[in-house]
Amino acid sequence: MQNFEYYTPTRLIFGKGVIGKLPEVLGAYGHKVLLTYGGGSIKKIGLYDKVLALLAGFEITELPGIQPNPKYDPSVLEGVRLCKEKGIEVILSVGGGSVLDCSKAIAAGACYDGDPWDLISYKVKAQKALPIVDILTLAATGSEYDCGGVISRPETNDKIGYIDPLLFPVASFLDPTYTFTVNAWQTAAGIADAMNHILEQYFCEDATLMNDGFCEAGLKSLMVNGKACLENPSDYKARAEMMFVCTLACNNIMSLGNSGSGWPMHGIEHALSGYYDITHGVGLAIITPRWMKHILSARTLPRFVKYGVNVFGIDPSLPGMEIALQAITATYDFFASLGIPMHLQDVGIGPDRIPEMAHHVAVNEGLENAYVPLTEQDIAAILTASL
């Protein structure tokens, strides 16, 4: 086992109706609140009105319109400006992972005198951040239980995962009923996103028995419950378990003590959604089986065999290579069965910019240190196979 440090000080408040505790939890951090949200779905489901009613005694400043793959300009910059101008004490993020990721960058930027990009690009280490409370409306990214946020800057095609322990939310409200109205596309993308988070932890050199069992349980739960969510969007049990597994999936707790994978599929996908602004989980689903096929070798075979047998129940008496190939096909088929288009061309991405994206990933994502090291050529090959 490798040495590690682990620390997640976020309070999870999970279940039907838990939002009643919001004033008490939020009020412990202040009464001047920046309320961040996205395109307005929280208004459609009545959550916006409920939050404002609960926070009648608070001073609320709103930052609406945060987009998927949240943008540095205008959202982060505008949020930082509002925090400074209004003396914001606590940020309340209501929405999915994009709203929360953006809120994290704002929380750090609000406590920094210079250009917030200094922090996001790791030029300067943040010394402080505003506390963040979130109400989650989408099960996917796990941002509610990690200390990272992904921020895009389309003018430079940058999509940076900004990670700092200061950015753990102080409390996350997880009410599965808020995800009942999430449409099939977003539900499927969320399943693929969280499954990929687990696969990025599963495929490594030195997983422990605990790591593997934990990851396999998460994958199987996401497959069963994800499917059930698509079949019946108001299935509380399925939405709840999917939400909880998504929350655990990006927190590193599933891979403590191993040397990690370097998150290669995320490295590659960040270029796709950085260049083309596609749905992150969809990009990951497309990349996943192609990455798997690319790295399959005598060295990695035992991992694929374990994956195939324990996650998909493939007959362990088959030859290893056959199990591995069946497992990769099963992964592809599962994502396809969710209704995810499984080719880049289906989401408007052709071959033209593959060399440019491969170069961008090779320069920025450090995948030469991944579980299976990837060169610019490898990355281009995986992207080309995904077309």
Contact call for residue 209 and a copy of itself (CB under 8 A): yes
Contact call for residue 135 and a copy of itself (CB under 8 A): no
Contact call for residue 7 and a copy of itself (CB under 8 A): yes
Contact call for residue 343 and a copy of itself (CB under 8 A): no
Contact call for residue 2 and a copy of itself (CB under 8 A): yes
Contact call for residue 6 and a copy of itself (CB under 8 A): yes
Choice between 190 and 283, CB closer to a copy of itself: 190
Please report, as residue ranges, which positions from 243 to 272 form the binding site for a copy of itself (by CB under 8 A).
244-245, 248, 256-257
Sign of the torsion angle spanned by Cα atoms 364, 369, 371, 377:
positive
DSSP-based three-state secondary structure for 254: helix
- Picking from 223, 211, 226, 191, the residue whose alpha carbon sits closest to that of residue 306 is 211
- What secondary structure letter does DSSP report for 65? -
Letters for 213-242 (x = contact with a copy of itself by CB under 8 A, - = none) are xx-xxx-xx--xx----------xx--xx-
| CB 115 to a copy of itself: min, Å | 30
Sign of the torsion angle spanned by Cα atoms 214, 215, 221, 222:
positive
Are 200 and 265 contacting, i.e. CB atoms less than 8 angstroms apart? yes
Question: How many C-beta atoms lie closer than 10 Å to residue 6's C-beta?
Answer: 9
| CB 349 to a copy of itself: min, Å | 34
Q: Where are the beta strands (DSSP E) in 37-103?
A: 59-63, 90-95
Q: How far apart are CA 135 and CA 19, in angstroms?
A: 8
Contact call for residue 141 and a copy of itself (CB under 8 A): no
Question: How many C-beta atoms lie closer than 10 Å to residue 244's C-beta?
Answer: 20
Letters for 150-179 (x = contact with a copy of itself by CB under 8 A, - = none) are --------------------------x---
Selected binder of a copy of itself within 210, 301, 347, 387 (CB under 8 A): 210
Structure tokens at 65: 């319109």
Are 385 and 290 contacting, i.e. CB atoms less than 8 angstroms apart? yes
Structure tokens at 177: 């009923």
Binding segment toward a copy of itself, per CB under 8 A, in 42-50, 65-73, 136-144, 204-212: 204-212
| CB 15 to a copy of itself: min, Å | 3
- Picking from 362, 253, 370, the residue whose alpha carbon sits closest to that of residue 300 is 370
Contact call for residue 8 and a copy of itself (CB under 8 A): yes
Contact call for residue 12 and a copy of itself (CB under 8 A): yes
Q: Site residues (CB under 8 A) for a copy of itself?
A: 1-18, 176, 208-210, 212-214, 216-218, 220-221, 224-225, 236-237, 240-241, 244-245, 248, 256-257
